[in-house]
Amino acid sequence: MGGKEGEASKSRGLFWRLLVLLIAALVVTTAVLTILRDFHYFKKHGVPSDHPINKKYADALEIALQFFDVQKSGKLVDNRISWRGDSGLQDGSEGNLDLSKGVFDAGDAMKFGFPMAFTATVLSWAILEYGDQMNAAKQLGYAQNSLRWITDYLIHAHPSENVLYIQVGDPELDHKCWERPETMSETRPIIQVNTSLPGTEVAAETTAAMAAASLVFKKSDPVYSNLLLMHARQLFTFADTYRGSYSISVPQVQKFYNSTGYGDELLWAASWLYHATGYESYLRYVTELNGQNFDNWGSTTWFSWDDKLAGAQILLSRIIFFGAKDIPTVQNLYLQMYRKTAEAVMCGLLPDSPTATSNRTDGGLIWVTEWNSLLHPVASAFLAILYSDYMLTSQTETLYCSGNSYKPADLRKFAISQADYVLGANPMKLSYLVGYGSRYPQYVHHRGSSIPVDADTGCKDGFKWLYSDNPNPNIAVGALVGGPSLNDSYSDTRNNTQQGEPSTYNCALLVGLLSGLLTTSSVAKSYT
């Protein structure tokens, strides 16, 4: 019996040793598979698995991107908005052009080239920085399709080197009507800038849009990318050679999108061309005489469709963060000046910085203008998340503001505060993004949204829907309305244009901000 017990004991010992070895093997195998899975996921999506997609911002992004579908003109393809149909099919016909595509500017049926091009530039920037995050949230394709809908229009609006069509529709006539874009019947004239009537701002902004978009499509459609870049380079030459404000050449735009100067657009355009081409000539453009004349180094500004300086400063800072090794010393010194100004902009946004702006509501929202009040806080938050991620990716640990030190996380916290305010964390407990959350504006100042699809109305009799007491019958999904007052209040009435009208450029900025907040991962070091 003793011998058998000894053998049994040995067998039991061998069993347990084998079991331990098997468990250890399983643990190692699981770890290896996890590493491989994370590697392939990261390689494909650019989003580490330990940084999961934030569902709140992903849901908001999905909604925000639908506003471009709400605003599309032309023969619609894969239409996601049930109450939208084809419109503007004859736009451009008086000049033998196809200007049917593009997007309507806001709650009307106008196509203003200046803010439309800015929309495309910002949307491109968002895709270039956060396309992998968008892809992980299954929204990249929608963003790219919306961008291409706009750039297709911009290509057709530039029929020759020194001619750019900058507007479709008569705003005075358009605003005397309240009708769905699908049924509009009034004349829609087209307006151009050229060598006799220059428009440096709009030509340079369109340059930026096409240069940035050329990077977006560089891998997926190189032929289209090259076409965009060709137009961008021609337009920049036109904008720079024939300098003149489009607000002077086309005075009727002053009531709607008046320009306060074109120097910022020239720097912005050259910055994007440098990123798209790598040509030193564009870098010299922004770092030599033009930079000295137009940038106002050290003076902070608010990023918007009219003022691109803060955006250009952030974009040029990117070169310092990721690629300044082979840049000549003189250019490097000027780039450092752009970066110092960008840092000053960031310091102004951080609420506890010694140089923090006092332009804030009691609810914590950056405040600059009564009209379209959400433009500047969303734009500022987008720049802040970009700069935060530039610091994070380049392992730049500290931002100094008058002796005080801040981390990338501090900029991210500010960006989150503005995004969350928009999404409902505000004194009104109201989401300013239509379609998001349980409470959002019901009386958006938007023609198509306010008129029933089956309504038989013309130009004038449609105004009964503007003054109707009923909520909009069609939800303008993804519309970011103008925003609250300085006291954080909001009046949800359809005729409240100041607070209740959405715009495509606001939407593009919000898309960029939300995309940057999808994960805590950093940006790519190169666009190419």
CATH number of the domain bearing residue 268: 1.50.10.10
The secondary element (H helix, E strand) that includes residue 192 is strand 190-193
pLDDT, residue 250, reads: 95
524 is a domain residue? no
Out of 45, 158, 445, 446, the active site residue is 445
Q: Which DSSP helix (H) or strand (E) runs through 406?
A: strand 404-406
Q: In what order do the strands lie in the sheet with 190-193?
A: 111-112, 164-168, 190-193
Question: CB neighbours (10 Å) of residue 50?
Answer: 10
Distance CA 411, CA 200 (A): 34
How many other β-carbons are positioned within 10 Å of the β-carbon of residue 499?
23
Domain count, the chain: 2
Q: Are residues 173 and 57 in the same domain?
A: yes
SS3 category, 72: strand
Q: Is residue 101 located within the same domain as residue 17?
A: no
Same domain, 242 and 342: yes
Question: Cβ distance 441 to 500 under 8 Å?
Answer: yes
Residue 33 to residue 54: CA distance in whole angstroms? 25
Residue 483 region, left (φ>0) first, then alpha (ψ -120 to 50), else beta?
A: left
Residue 119 to residue 407: CA distance in whole angstroms: 30
Distances (CA, A) of 364 to 408, 411, 419, 423: 19, 14, 11, 13
Q: How many residues does the chain have?
A: 528
CA-to-CA distance for 122 and 126, rounded, in angstroms? 6
Tell me how far apart the alpha carbons of residues 473 and 483 are, in angstroms, rounded to a whole number.
21
Judge whether 521 lies within some domain: no
Q: Are residues 260 and 356 in the same domain?
A: yes
Helix 309-322 / helix 280-287 crossing angle, nearest 10 deg: 120
Task: Say whether both 34 and 138 belong to one domain.
Answer: no
Residue reference for tokens 């978009």 = 213
The pair of three-digit structure tokens given for residue 203, joined into one six-digit string: 């030509």
Residue corresponding to tokens 């940038």 = 295
Is 526 inside any structural domain? no
Per-residue pLDDT, 520? 83
DSSP assignment letter at 251: G
Any domain includes 523:
no
Q: Where are the alpha helices (DSSP H) in 394-428?
A: 408-422
* Sign for the pseudo-dihedral over CA of 415, 422, 436, 72: negative
Are residues 331 and 436 located together in one domain of the fold?
yes
| Domain identity same for 110 and 7 | no
Residues 26 and 92 in one domain: no
Calculated CA dihedral for residues 2, 6, 9, 15, nearest 10 degrees: -140
Whole-number pLDDT of residue 30:
39
Query: Which amino acid is present at 475?
Result: I
The reply to whether 368 and 227 lie within a common domain is: yes
Residue 436, domain member (yes or no): yes
What's the farthest any 2 CA atoms get from each other in the chain?
113
pLDDT at 521: 73
The verdict on 39 and 147 lying in the same domain is: no
Answer yes or no: is 319 within a domain: yes
* Predicted confidence pLDDT, tens digits, the chain (528 residues): 344 444 444 445 554 554 445 544 444 343 333 333 333 333 333 444 456 899 999 999 999 999 999 999 999 999 999 999 999 999 999 999 999 999 999 999 999 999 999 999 999 999 999 999 999 999 999 999 999 999 999 999 999 999 999 999 999 999 999 999 999 989 999 999 999 999 999 999 999 999 999 999 999 999 999 999 999 999 999 999 999 999 999 999 999 999 999 999 999 999 999 999 999 999 999 998 888 889 888 899 999 999 999 999 999 999 999 987 788 888 999 999 999 999 999 999 999 999 999 999 999 999 999 999 999 999 999 999 999 999 999 999 999 999 999 999 999 999 999 999 999 999 999 999 999 999 999 999 999 999 999 998 889 999 999 999 999 999 999 999 999 999 999 999 999 999 999 999 999 999 999 999 999 877 988 898
How are the residues of the chain apportioned to helix, strand and coil, as percentages rounded to the nearest 5?
55, 5, 40
Burial-class residue 113 by CB neighbours within 10 Å (0-12, 13-18, 19+): buried
Q: Is residue 527 part of a domain?
A: no
Residue 206 in tokens:
């369109």
Burial class of residue 156, CB neighbours in 10 A (0-12, 13-18, 19+): middle
Which residue, among 151, 52, 183, has the nearest Cα to 453 in the 3D structure?
A: 183
- The residue segments making up the domain with residue 109 are 46-516
For residues 29 and 75, state if they share a domain.
no
Backbone angles phi, psi at 308, to 5 degrees: -105, 0
Point out which residues pair with 193 in neighbouring strands: 164
pLDDT score for 121: 98
Residue 407 phi/psi, 5° resolution?
-110, 165
Alpha helices, H only, 157-199: 171-174
At 225 the pLDDT is: 98
Query: Judging by DSSP bridges, how do beta strands 399-401 and 404-406 pair with one another?
Result: antiparallel
Q: Are residues 455 and 352 in the same domain?
A: yes
Give domain status of residue 268, yes or no: yes
Is 51 among the residues known to form the active site? no
Q: How far is CA 416 from the centre of its chain?
A: 16
Which of 423, 434, 455, 411 shows the shortest CA–CA distance to 178? 455
